[in-house]
Structure 1
Amino acid sequence: MEFSSIEQAYVFYQTYAKKAGFSARKGGEHHVGGIIRSKYFVCSKEGHKPQAFDDNYSKLSKPYKRRNRPSIRTGCKAQIKLCSTDGVLFKVDKFVQSHNHSFVCPKDMHLLPAYRHLSETQEEMIWELGTLNLGPVKAFNIMRKRYGGFENVGATKDDCKNFRARIHSYIGQYDADMVINRLTDKKKFMVDYSFFHSVDENKRLTGLFWADGLCKRNYAEFGDVISFDATFKTNKYKMVFVPFTGIDNHCRNVTLGAGLLASESIESYKWLLQSFLNSFGKQPNVVVTDQDPAMKQAIEAVFDKSRHRLCMWHIMKKLADKVEHQLCNNEDFKRRMCDILIMIDFGLTENKWLDDMFGMRSSWIPAFYRHEPMSGLMRTTSRSESENHFFCQVANSQLTLVEFFNHFDGAMDIQRFNHRKNDHISRNTVPDNFSESTLEDDAMKIYTRSIFADQQAELQGTLSECLPIETKIEEPFLRISMKDWKAHGDGLLEVCFKKGEDVIALCTCRRFEQYGLLCKHIYFVFKMFKVKEIPNKYVMRRWTKDVAPNDLNNTFDITVDGDDAHKKAKEVAYEIMQTGEYLIGNLIKDFDHLLIVRDRMREMKEMVDELRITKPIDPKFDRYSRLIGYEKPNTDEPPTVRVPTGIRNKGRGSHKRIKSKKEKIISLKGKRGRTCSHCNIKGHDIRTCKVLKGEATAAADKVANKEGRKRRAIQLEKDPNLIDEEDEEVETGDEEEFEESDEVEDSDFECEDE
């Protein structure tokens, strides 16, 4: 028997071994003049495990523990020997068939190491599922369900975990360097891509900021009010992740850029905001953050033209801890929270926290932002909290920077797909016109579905919630006073209106100035004076359907290399998989045609097996580079940018957080006990009640009755109208019982005196 190559002979012997019930491995070889003259393929159980000798002098100072790993070697002599005279053709010179061990059951062949390997498709599946925060074990379980059993996967969960470990080993110390090189290529080749990074004196990464062309387009349309907040546990180096969040034309979150920081210092935030400003070219109107002092100083230094707004929710949450609970629930106190006299009237002049909050009231009280354009869009950092939660769903604290960026790109794809889907719904669906007015029809054509729902509610409010009081003529304006039944306070409002071609409408509620959307009061006046369409000056582009073109995602989603053969091969592979699923889905009930498809695919599989023998195998590092999309530098020199180390931020890894008073009270109270709804005794419920089952003793009955009477007495104190004849009898009996107990206590005291 002759073979054209050693690899062909090895595949042949492996196939024979698999059918026989054992596994093979490559043995020794003999060279003459640089040509392989002989080659051995042996049974995997050939030889014996080398005996290890402990050398205490070569060990480290700490105790050394050797892994107790079993051996498969039994000294088996089964082998095949190949010989060649020219190094081209190889003939079988010797074949030993007998083994000194039992063969493996056919059902367990997939457990032998020689037949356990992950294909490129499976490796890619594990990597892609990892971008959704699904680990290798979950990926293995998905594959075994998809392939129809453990034996059909061709690997075990340990192989999947080892693959992830090899990826981490491949990245190694070049993690930051690979990310910097990749982002540099994107900045060079992608349209309008921005990227900045900073390092310390030891060349360790301290900061990253990036934003693509679509982020910049979104900022140009939706960057009037932004929010940002730091979140943790997104990478193994403990760098904080800082996404910048805005509100799109569907009133959904949109990411305008993002950064990674090694510390939350003032200088770090200054560098991040300066990078943001260099990328986008203009400052936002309003910036919403929490009360972080480093953020505050950085915003004042870099965004000097922006209005900084503090999160109102965080301040009001702290209020319960800073003042008494009863005072916090006082309606008059809540209403006058922003009044200067509140400190005197409620005796809070010595409360330092309230004094500080009052001093910075212009940074968080809504009344101070009534004249700030679009300031009503964000009052709290809830948008940032939602954005952090969204990204943390696809990230974890064990990710390398390479993995983090792949996860981030996957999350951005999800967000942009949802935006595209909302655009499609807005362009291709027609909502109901409840009021049947021309204004509602015009709003339907202009606004997205979510914004139209808001305007539709305002138009409906003109029918039942607005009542005109009087109209004053001040040429060329008309002042219409009206009452809004659902407005806060007295509900009195005034609309200043000018008729004609250049319609002007201003309302004292200032909804248009703060949100960019007309209020019900202006719509009411429009109906009064027969205005058929919404004036163009009162249609803000940021809320319209066509603010972002439908093909915008494709415009900026270009590859660095347009002739990437690997990308084209993946597209063909996806098409093949989709075709296979289509055939299975349509022929699953047609067994005969399904067999025909299977037989043809088997023929193609045999053809591929023959090609695989002659085709050289790609080095695994090349496969890893293609898989993760990042190239490792072809050098043994240290990385240009080193990974950060020793990072410890204030919100990460600490289990000694200072608890509020409310949390302390809840923890001291402990777990709430169960109370039976039948006997009113604590410690059990109605399912295990012995009184209900008739198993209770007389003492238990007495305790149950006593507890029940106490509960009934509490109810009667709250509502005396519940007293009936039975309650009067019970109360009388209780008094007599208490009187008897008092007499017994008196007699006891008399005995003690004697």
Structure 2
Amino acid sequence: MHRVGIRPSQIHEYMVQCSGGYSEVGYMRRDVENVVASQKRKQLQDFDSESCIAYLNGKKSSDPSFYFEYTIDDEHRLGDIFWCDGGCRADYAIFGDVIAFDTTYRTNAYLKPLVVIVGINHHYKTTIFGFALLTAETEQAYTWLLVTFLHAMEGKHPKAVLTDGDKAMRKAISTTLPQSIHRLCCWHLERNAQSNVGRTEFTADFKDCMLYTKDHQDFQDKWDAMVRKHQVESNEWVKKMYVDRNLWAEPYFKWQFLGGMRSTQRCEGFNAFLNYYVNRKLRLIEFVDQIDRLMSKQREMEGKDDFDSSYGSPVLCTHLRQYEQQAGEIYTKSMFEKVRTELNKEGLLFIKGYVDDISTRTYSIGEFRKANKEWKVVFHHQTKLAACQCQLLERLGIPCSHSYTVLKAEDVQSIPECMQLMRWLKTAKINNPPQNDDQAEKVYMSKLVRIGLVNAACKSLQYLAGNSLKAYKEAMKGIHSLTLRLQSMSLTTTEQDFERNPDVI
């Protein structure tokens, strides 16, 4: 009970309730506290840091893809530490195009800042790529963290990074991830606008400039009007924000895939989830152990999402049922809902005209009862790609409502493959190819990462197989059969054979 976070006083009260009274339980609350303390001392009979490193080494022996790294300070004490398991490395290989990270405090007895590096999986849920405990929030510490993180992920750089705007963090990112797009958290910027200017009306106008501008000219016009309206030309924070506008203004990210993330709120939300497992009284060994429990819960939740997406068919309710049915078959449940929203919006759109070119046709799309609204959609005859001016496909990875209007007009019977982003599909963890053809195979998924992915999947299988004797027998039959097949194939099939004919597996 203590291991899952229940306090000694609560443990004692529970035992009293079960036994029928204080006189029946057989011991006092102080006895419970003594037992808990003695177990802690036994667990920490060496040094806490040495016990933690030994624990992580044990994790590595059971999971070949487990990775951890640490530093030793000038006083020969444990400094910074980073770790991730094989499942995290495999998830990053597939979903590591966008990452966000933030620091949280009061999670351990040493008050070390905890950094959790997160992303988005195919269910549009938060997925974890790694954890780090740092000695301080300095540029040197963040640089070490990012270099170590890239080493763990075999050199694959994210396409975009979201942070809260910490100066040391920004410098470390510019040094270690020069090719990655860096976006500042809009939620933190909104709070900064209120604290630095102190006017609610200004904050609302600043938010409009930040999130709801169509292009660079529109942003400039709104910014100039906002500055004149609130007379903040001499405000140092406002001038600094304008200089750094490429880090937060929406027009600078129109073509960049961010998976719908504009803030580090996923980190904040995960920190709330984290509080169920950790507190400031935990020693390092206890802290890392609780993180393992947290990751097991996280994977269990993802397994439920996989099950919900794989079984059952959605009730078709839009006017474009052919597209809707296909979307229900290929997308995960969460992403299907987003696709269906765009299909519903298509009902209000109409074609105002089009212009033909040699290989393309450019449509002008209008919206019912909104005469001033118009979008340009370029349809490519060869690939069936409908590229829209709103750039939802580039930013979120799903076709927009304007694209469906064009696909319908061109009598395209299904959503083209070039408009299906693999990371949102049910088969994302099975058939996901490298994002760029020129990437080396090891950057996408190396042998160690594949082992990690299988290892994470097998952990779920262990719990399911142990639920009943029937489940155990079925699982053992399948494992035995699969093992024999893989052993025979490894003796007769080379790696080149697998590359030429992947279906052999």
Contact 2:107 2:278 in 1 (8 A): yes
What's the secondary structure of 2:108's corresponding residue? coil
Q: Does 1:425 align with 2:325?
A: no
The residue number in structure 1 matching 2:299 is: 416
The residue number in structure 1 matching 2:427 is: 546
For this pair of structures, how many residues does the alignment match?
A: 433
What's the secondary structure of 1:244's corresponding residue? strand
The residue number in structure 2 matching 1:375 is: 258
Q: Does 1:291 align with 2:165?
A: yes
TM-superposition CA deviations, 1:98-144 (whole Å, max 9, x none): xxxxxxxxxxxxxxxxxxxxxxxxxxxx34xx33x322222333344
Instruction: Summarize the Cα distance change of 1:357–1:437 in structure 2 as closer, same or farther, 3 Å threshold.
Output: same
Distance in 1 (CA, whole Å) between partners of 2:79 and 2:372 is: 54
Contact 1:234 1:396 in 2 (8 A): yes
Contact 2:101 2:118 in 1 (8 A): yes
TM-superposition CA deviations, 1:254-301 (whole Å, max 9, x none): 111110011111111111111101000211111100121111111111
C-alpha displacement of 1:153: 4.6
Distance in 1 (CA, whole Å) between partners of 2:10 and 2:457 is: 30
Instruction: Summarize the Cα distance change of 1:326–1:537 in structure 2 as closer, same or farther, 3 Å threshold.
Output: closer
C-alpha displacement of 1:228: 0.4
Distance in 1 (CA, whole Å) between partners of 2:70 and 2:276 is: 25
Contact 1:338 1:358 in 2 (8 A): no
TM-score (ref. length: structure 2): 0.79
Instruction: Summarize the Cα distance change of 1:150–1:424 in structure 2 as closer, same or farther, 3 Å threshold.
Output: farther
C-alpha displacement of 1:322: 2.6
Contact 1:447 1:544 in 2 (8 A): yes
Q: Does 1:499 align with 2:371?
A: no
Instruction: Summarize the Cα distance change of 1:495–1:364 in structure 2 as closer, same or farther, 3 Å threshold.
Output: same
C-alpha displacement of 1:536: 1.4
Contact 2:86 2:452 in 1 (8 A): no
The residue number in structure 1 matching 2:56 is: 183
Q: Which amino acid aligns with 1:169?
A: R
Distance in 2 (CA, whole Å) between partners of 1:325 and 1:151 is: 63
Structure whose residues are more often helix by fraction: 2
Instruction: Summarize the Cα distance change of 1:461–1:192 in structure 2 as closer, same or farther, 3 Å threshold.
Output: same
Contact 2:146 2:176 in 1 (8 A): yes
Matched ranges for 1:330-349 at <5 A: 334-335=208-209, 339=221, 341-342=224-225, 343=227, 346-349=230-233
What's the secondary structure of 1:195's corresponding residue? strand
Q: Which amino acid aligns with 1:556?
A: A
Q: Which amino acid aligns with 2:415?
A: I
Contact 1:328 1:334 in 2 (8 A): no
Q: Which amino acid aligns with 1:179?
A: C
Matched ranges for 1:732-747 at <5 A: none
The residue number in structure 1 matching 2:409 is: 528
Instruction: Summarize the Cα distance change of 1:364–1:376 in structure 2 as closer, same or farther, 3 Å threshold.
Output: farther
Contact 2:85 2:452 in 1 (8 A): no
Distance in 2 (CA, whole Å) between partners of 1:422 and 1:197 is: 34
Q: Which of the residues 147, 160, 165 maps onto 2:37?
A: 165
Q: Does 1:140 align with 2:12?
A: yes
Instruction: Summarize the Cα distance change of 1:395–1:471 in structure 2 as closer, same or farther, 3 Å threshold.
Output: same
What's the secondary structure of 2:376's corresponding residue? strand
The residue number in structure 2 matching 1:200 is: 73
What's the secondary structure of 2:178's corresponding residue? coil
User: Which stretch shows the higher mean deviation, 334-343 or 398-407?
Assistant: 334-343
Matched ranges for 1:131-530 at <5 A: 131=4, 133-146=5-18, 150=22, 153-170=25-42, 171=44, 174-281=47-154, 282-323=156-197, 325=199, 327-328=201-202, 334-335=208-209, 339=221, 341-342=224-225, 343=227, 346-372=230-256, 374-435=257-318, 437-463=321-347, 465-484=348-367, 490-499=372-381, 502-530=383-411
Distance in 1 (CA, whole Å) between partners of 2:323 and 2:295 is: 36
Q: Which amino acid aligns with 1:283?
A: H
TM-superposition CA deviations, 1:348-372 (whole Å, max 9, x none): 2211000001000000111101122
C-alpha displacement of 1:181: 1.4
Contact 2:86 2:453 in 1 (8 A): no
Instruction: Summarize the Cα distance change of 1:182–1:299 in structure 2 as closer, same or farther, 3 Å threshold.
Output: same
Contact 1:190 1:556 in 2 (8 A): no
Q: Which amino acid aligns with 2:149?
A: F
Distance in 2 (CA, whole Å) between partners of 1:210 and 1:330 is: 41
Distance in 2 (CA, whole Å) between partners of 1:439 and 1:341 is: 43
C-alpha displacement of 1:521: 0.8
The residue number in structure 1 matching 2:501 is: none
C-alpha displacement of 1:204: 0.9
Contact 1:440 1:456 in 2 (8 A): yes
The residue number in structure 2 matching 1:591 is: none
Contact 2:80 2:134 in 1 (8 A): yes
Instruction: Summarize the Cα distance change of 1:320–1:539 in structure 2 as closer, same or farther, 3 Å threshold.
Output: same
C-alpha displacement of 1:479: 1.1
TM-superposition CA deviations, 1:405-447 (whole Å, max 9, x none): 1111111111110000010011012111112621111100000
TM-superposition CA deviations, 1:138-180 (whole Å, max 9, x none): 2333344455555665443322211221123221561110111
C-alpha displacement of 1:558: 7.8
Extract unaligned runs of 5+ from structure 1.
Answer: 1-125, 560-566, 577-754
Distance in 1 (CA, whole Å) between partners of 2:387 and 2:411 is: 17
Relative CO higher for 1 or 2, CA cutoff 8 Å, sep ≥ 6?
Answer: 2
Distance in 2 (CA, whole Å) between partners of 1:216 and 1:256 is: 7
Instruction: Summarize the Cα distance change of 1:544–1:145 in structure 2 as closer, same or farther, 3 Å threshold.
Output: farther
Instruction: Summarize the Cα distance change of 1:240–1:470 in structure 2 as closer, same or farther, 3 Å threshold.
Output: same
Q: Which amino acid aligns with 1:212?
A: D
Contact 1:505 1:522 in 2 (8 A): yes
Instruction: Summarize the Cα distance change of 1:175–1:499 in structure 2 as closer, same or farther, 3 Å threshold.
Output: same
Q: Which amino acid aligns with 2:94?
A: E
Distance in 2 (CA, whole Å) between partners of 1:428 and 1:143 is: 42
Distance in 2 (CA, whole Å) between partners of 1:388 and 1:326 is: 28
Distance in 2 (CA, whole Å) between partners of 1:151 and 1:332 is: 65
TM-superposition CA deviations, 1:388-413 (whole Å, max 9, x none): 11112211110011111111111111
Distance in 2 (CA, whole Å) between partners of 1:515 and 1:363 is: 19
Distance in 1 (CA, whole Å) between partners of 2:375 and 2:132 is: 44
Distance in 2 (CA, whole Å) between partners of 1:514 and 1:334 is: 19
Contact 1:225 1:377 in 2 (8 A): no
What's the secondary structure of 2:232's corresponding residue? coil
Instruction: Summarize the Cα distance change of 1:512–1:148 in structure 2 as closer, same or farther, 3 Å threshold.
Output: farther
Contact 1:190 1:558 in 2 (8 A): no
C-alpha displacement of 1:450: 0.8
Distance in 2 (CA, whole Å) between partners of 1:454 and 1:176 is: 46
Q: Which amino acid aligns with 1:311?
A: C
TM-score (ref. length: structure 1): 0.54
Instruction: Summarize the Cα distance change of 1:319–1:152 in structure 2 as closer, same or farther, 3 Å threshold.
Output: same
TM-superposition CA deviations, 1:322-379 (whole Å, max 9, x none): 335265267599457754534456532211000001000000111101122x125211
Instruction: Summarize the Cα distance change of 1:535–1:152 in structure 2 as closer, same or farther, 3 Å threshold.
Output: farther
What's the secondary structure of 1:317's corresponding residue? helix
What's the secondary structure of 1:516's corresponding residue? coil
